[in-house]
Amino acid sequence: MPGIKEKGLALYRWLDRRLGFAKPVTEAAEHPIPANSASWWYVFGSAASVILMLQVVTGILLALVYTPTARDAWNSLNFLNHGLTLGWFLRALHGWGSDFMIAIVLIHMTQVFLFGAYKFPRELTWIVGVFLLLLTLGMAFTGQVLRFDQDAYWGLGIGASIMGRVPLIGAWLVHFMLGGPIIGATTFSRFFALHVFIIPGILIALVGVHVWMVLRLGINEWPMPGRLVRRSTYIQEYEAQTHQDGVPFVPDAAWKDVMFSAAILLAIMACAIFFGPIGPSGPPDPTIIQTAPKPDVAFLWIYAIFALAPPALETSLLLIAPVAVICVMLGLPLYAGEGEKHWSRRPVAVLMVCAIAVSLAILTSLGENPPWSPVMNAWSADPVQPKYLKDRTPLERRGAVVFQQMQCRNCHSLDGVGGKRGPELNRVATQMTESQLIRQVLQGSGNMPAYGSALSPQETTALVGFLETLNGNQMPARDLARPLAEGAPLAQPRQDGKQ
């Protein structure tokens, strides 16, 4: 056995005499870091790079089988899922890896922000990090397109429609994005090149720069309340801290990074096994229009903003807000490069993180189950509950049929079943009088179309008769002025449903 060990050492020395890696690598690994930075809070960056490696490896393995053309991509994904041993698992790893990567990058960014690590001298590290976040999101979007299914097809349309809103050069941008006038083979190839060559190339290069700067400038020390960053003194203070009270990165801090990365990889594998691969949904056939396209989780919040923003503001919001947000993120370290690092003395920063996190969470959960989208099959699929039909007159029951047949249900729910785009109608009779209901049905308003030309007078009468019964056993709304104007005493609400 000693012979093998000696031969191994000899080979190592032979290689290192030529490569010369051992010294710089050992120095980088053992570089001193502040003792308090060997913390569980400092593990997210390394976890993100480990997931990036997972994505590269699984991506290459998928590329061995995946057919990158608009015609065959969807079929090859189904072959990967169903026809190839463990193909589904590789797809699941890649898909879940992407979700985990975005999550970890966001957590890493939040931690870096709250610990003031973007301040002097690490401004550029933060700025490169902002680009890494954008590239990660770019990978997620282009990856979604390569899962060339119905959602990918219509997602491209949504992307093109956003480009089309840019003034003056909108048409050019649409053609540039689609690689032609319409979604087709060239569009697909374009996104394949972006996902497989262009974005990963830049991403890996910038990760290199990012890590290089972390090594060169040193990891951020654990912030202490009241210890302010000053350009004139910080370098000396930091060096004093690392040299007097420092520990080598390997092994003192690195074991936490390695353990956390292992845990994250296990979590990705668990998701891959338990939840399986993501998609593909229906084939990318534009003539199959029975679809409600929705973006992947990472972009649901944008989808929600599109839906909730007032239409008049939409274009400016779409075009200006992203640029403004990116500029603010890039400018942050240049504007606030000095001063307090500790979160307890930066209430505005903490408040901002909370506000952004809560907003993103709310918008994402709304996007998950969007109340603004009509339920396109509710009119034919969701029954009118029996209690709304019991003891009703033939006219009112006819009204319930009109209610379903005219697709009212696509936007209005009864007892929570149906669309949520418009108000729930369980108790509409307590909120609107008969004449108000007639007016609303015939003329519409705001987000409701006018049904004046689609409904016959008989259908309108029947529909309003049915709506009048939806009073939740409360007193229906009444126009108090009318009986007075007609010179009659206040009447009890009508129960017979007749006009």
Partner 1 sequence: MEDPLNHSIDDPSSDNPLNQPSEHSRRKFLFKVSLLLNGAVGAVLAAPVLGYLFGPFFKRNASYNNWVSVGTLDRFPPGETRLGKYRNPMGTPADGQTRTLPCWVRHIAGNRFQVFAINCAHMDCPVHWFPQSELFMCPCHGGVYYQDGSVAAGPPPRGLYEYKYKIAGNQLLIWAGELPTLSTEASVAGPGCASCQG
What single-letter DSSP state applies at residue 418? Answer: E
Q: Look-up: residue for tokens 């970890």?
A: 104
d(CA 306, CA 291): 18
334 in contact with partner 1 (CB under 8 A): no
Query: Smallest distance from the beta carbon of 239 to partner 1, in angstroms?
Result: 8
Spatial CA neighbour of 199 closest among 144, 162, 151: 144
170 in contact with partner 1 (CB under 8 A): yes
154 in contact with partner 1 (CB under 8 A): yes
Q: Tell me which stretch binds partner 1 (CB under 8 A): 29-37, 201-209, 368-376, 486-494.
A: 368-376
Q: Tell me which stretch binds partner 1 (CB under 8 A): 126-134, 162-170, 201-209, 382-390.
A: 162-170
68 in contact with partner 1 (CB under 8 A): no
Sign of CA dihedral 48, 49, 50, 51: positive
Q: How many other C-beta atoms can be found within 10 angstroms of the C-beta atom of residue 120?
A: 18
Interaction mask 284-303, partner 1, x per CB under 8 A: xxxx-xxxxx----------
456 in contact with partner 1 (CB under 8 A): no
78 in contact with partner 1 (CB under 8 A): no
> 448 phi and psi, to 5 degrees?
-115, 130
Q: Tell me which stretch binds partner 1 (CB under 8 A): 20-28, 193-201, 450-458, 470-478.
A: 450-458
Query: Smallest distance from the beta carbon of 418 to partner 1, in angstroms?
Result: 13
d(CA 283, CA 82): 15
161 in contact with partner 1 (CB under 8 A): yes
d(CA 305, CA 366): 10
335 in contact with partner 1 (CB under 8 A): no
Among 20, 83, 184, 322, binds partner 1 (CB under 8 A): 184
Contacts by 153-157, CB closer than 8 A, 24 or more apart: 153/183, 153/284, 153/286, 153/293, 154/291, 154/293, 155/293, 155/295, 156/183, 156/187, 157/183, 157/293
Q: What angle do CA 358, 360, 361 make, to 5 degrees?
A: 65
Q: Tell me which stretch binds partner 1 (CB under 8 A): 191-199, 219-227, 308-316, 475-483.
A: 308-316
Among 20, 225, 322, 449, binds partner 1 (CB under 8 A): 449
d(CA 122, CA 130): 13
Task: Give, for 316, the enclosing helix (H) or strand (E).
Answer: helix 311-335
Give the binding site for partner 1 (CB under 8 A): 69-72, 74, 121, 153-154, 157-158, 160-166, 170-172, 174-176, 178-185, 231-232, 234-235, 283-287, 289-293, 306-307, 311, 314-315, 372-374, 376, 379, 405-407, 410-411, 421, 444, 446-451, 453-454
